[in-house]
Amino acid sequence: MTVRPSADLPAAFARLGGQEDGRVWGELWDDLCHQGCVYDDSFHALPYLVAIATGRAPGAPLDAVLMAGLIVSAADEERTARYADGIAALLPVARRLLDAATDDAPAFVYLLQCVLAFEGERVWSAGRLEGLFEQEYELECPACTSELFLAFGDPGAFALDAGRAPADPAGAALIPADPAALAPLPARLHRTATRAGHEAVARGLTHLFGRAVCPFCETAFTVSDEVGKSP
pLDDT at 162: 65
**Which of 95, 119, 143 is the last residue before a domain boundary?**
119
- Residue 106: which residues within 8 A CB-CB, separation 6 or more? 130, 133
The reply to whether 1 falls in a domain is no
- Residue 206: which residues within 8 A CB-CB, separation 6 or more? 176, 177, 178, 179, 182, 190
pLDDT at 170: 59
**Which of 119, 142, 161 is the last residue before a domain boundary?**
119
pLDDT at 1: 35
**Vertex 143 angle, CA 138 and 147, to 5°:** 25
Question: In Å, how far are 28, 32, 84 from 42, measured between CA atoms?
Answer: 10, 5, 16
Q: Which long-range contacts (CB under 8 A, 24 or more apart) does 224-227 make?
A: 224/186, 225/142, 226/139, 226/140, 226/142, 227/128, 227/131, 227/137, 227/139
Both 152 and 66 in one domain: the answer is no
Both 196 and 137 in one domain: the answer is yes
pLDDT at 158: 73
Euclidean distance between CA atoms 143 and 159, whole angstroms: 14
If one counts every other C-beta atom within 10 angstroms of the C-beta of residue 183, the result is 10
pLDDT at 161: 72
Both 100 and 158 in one domain: the answer is no
Q: What domain range is 60 assigned to?
A: 6-119
Both 218 and 152 in one domain: the answer is yes
Q: State the greatest distance between any 2 C-alpha atoms of the chain, in Å, as a whole number.
A: 57
Euclidean distance between CA atoms 73 and 219, whole angstroms: 32
Both 13 and 94 in one domain: the answer is yes
pLDDT at 4: 47
Neighbour-count burial for 118-128, b at 16+ CB within 10 Å, e otherwise? beeebebbbbb
Given strand 158-161, what is the order of strands in its sheet? 136-140, 147-151, 158-161, 172-173
**Vertex 98 angle, CA 57 and 81, to 5°:** 60
Q: Which long-range contacts (CB under 8 A, 24 or more apart) does 91-97 make?
A: 91/115, 91/118, 91/119, 93/53, 93/54, 93/61, 93/65, 94/65, 94/69, 94/118, 97/61, 97/62, 97/65
Residue-by-residue pLDDT tens, the chain, 231 positions: 344 445 588 999 999 998 899 999 999 999 999 888 899 889 999 999 999 999 999 999 999 999 999 999 999 999 999 999 999 999 999 999 999 999 999 999 999 999 999 999 999 999 999 999 999 999 999 999 988 889 887 656 677 776 665 445 556 778 999 999 999 999 999 999 999 999 999 999 999 999 998 888 889 999 999 999 866
Both 31 and 111 in one domain: the answer is yes
Both 57 and 137 in one domain: the answer is no
The reply to whether 70 falls in a domain is yes
pLDDT at 230: 66
Both 45 and 112 in one domain: the answer is yes
**Which of 84, 119, 154 is the last residue before a domain boundary?**
119
Euclidean distance between CA atoms 138 and 47, whole angstroms: 35
Both 37 and 135 in one domain: the answer is no
pTM of the model: 0.90
Both 112 and 18 in one domain: the answer is yes
Euclidean distance between CA atoms 192 and 220, whole angstroms: 28
Omega within 30 of 0 (cis) for the link into 10: no
Both 101 and 179 in one domain: the answer is no
Which DSSP category does 40 fall into?
G
Count how many domains the chain has: 2
**Vertex 70 angle, CA 81 and 18, to 5°:** 110
The reply to whether 51 falls in a domain is yes
The reply to whether 187 falls in a domain is yes
Both 146 and 183 in one domain: the answer is yes
